[in-house]
Structure 1
Amino acid sequence: MTLTYFLLFLAASAAAAATGIIFKPGEWYVGLKKPDFTPPNWVFPVAWTYLYVSVAYAAARIAPEAGSQIALALFAVQIALNTLWTPVFFGAHRLWLGLLVLICLWVAVAAMMLAFLQLDMLAGLLVFPYLVWLTLAGALNFRVWRDNPRAGAQT
């Protein structure tokens, strides 16, 4: 792993994180009915910071490995989908479409984790918390969509 690889993957992650600065939850989200298992608001930036840093580190570990092309392509797919979710959900208020993006993101991250595991065990294991977090996020997205049928466009 080189510092250059880590900083490049971290920059991609920072770009994804920037959508959270541009498209904040705001009053619309505050007014939605949310499930009891919704984490407190302070947990989200802490969790995402940890996940972005650890996945950037994992990607940097596998980048110099022979045969890492598919794994790195999967990193690109997941960071693109990650970047897309926030403007879809918080910006456009498209709860169902947000859930669809999240399902695609979960599949991409699961595939990325498997590809990373084949190249570097630690790198693959570093992705696992991301998959767990996305599972929780998917459950939250589903419940918010289901429990708030009039909260924005549903297509």
Structure 2
Amino acid sequence: MTALTTNPGRPSYFALAVWLVVTFAFAAIGAAGSATAPAFYAQLVRPEWAPPAWLFGPVWTILYTLMGIAAWRAWREPGAGRLTAALVYLSQLVLNSLWSWLFFAWHLGAKASLCIVVLWLAIAATMALFARRDRLAALLLVPYLAWVSFAGVLCYRIWQLNPGLLG
């Protein structure tokens, strides 16, 4: 753990790289579950306000980058609560990856909708824990929470519109 620890006021760019790699590793796990997403998404009945499929990749790339930076900022602050904040952060990454598998790979609309609610709660908990350590770390997760809020509504609506495909 010493390689990831920093002196206050002196950022560790190795630790930043580690947090980005960890975050994008979970992104890759989710992406594996989304391998057939473009074709599947195209065949779904979607509300008129649903974004085009091409938008998801760039949005998630930005969000995962912000998430990794937020985790690094929270981690680099010494003191109690660092491990708890990191574990809650990692748990929301697991839920995020799981959602992709539930929705795109396994076509389980109800479970994906439930997962995204739990994911939202885990992000909110992560933000609260990060805010105690570094206010900017919590603020960097605001776009993520906003996108997952939108995605949750979209997920539920698509599930309702496609009971045969997302039973």
- Do both proteins adopt the same fold according to a TM-score greater than 0.5, normalized to the shorter chain? yes
Identical counterparts, % of pairs = 34
Which stretches in structure 1 are left out of the alignment for 5+ residues?
none
On the 8 A contact 2:70/2:140 being kept in 1, the answer is: yes
User: What letter corresponds to residue 23 of structure 1 in structure 2?
Assistant: S
User: How far does residue 38 in structure 1 lie from its aligned partner after superposition?
Assistant: 1.0
Aligned to 2:43: 31
C-alpha distance in structure 2 between counterparts of 1:81 and 1:123, whole Å: 20
Deviates more, 1:21-30 or 1:133-142: 21-30
CA distance in 2, matches of 1:72, 1:27: 35
Equivalent positions of 1:7-86 (< 5 A) are 7-18=17-28, 19-24=30-35, 25-65=37-77, 66-67=79-80, 68-86=82-100
- AA at the equivalent of 1:75: Y
Superposed structure 1 runs of 4+ greater than 3 Å apart = none
Aligned pairs (5 A) from 1:80-99: 80-99=94-113
Deviation at 1:95, TM superposition (A): 1.0
Contact 1:15 1:83 in 2 (8 A): no
Report the CA distance between 1:21 and its aligned residue: 4.4
Q: 1:138 aligns with which of 126, 149, 152?
A: 152
Q: Could you state the TM-score of these two structures normalised by the residue count of structure 1?
A: 0.92
CA distance in 2, matches of 1:60, 1:94: 33
Distance 2:33 2:96 in 1: 14
Once superposed, what is the RMSD of the aligned Cα atoms?
Answer: 1.4
Bigger Rg, which one: 2
Gaps of 5+ in 2: 1-10
1:5 aligns with 2:15: yes
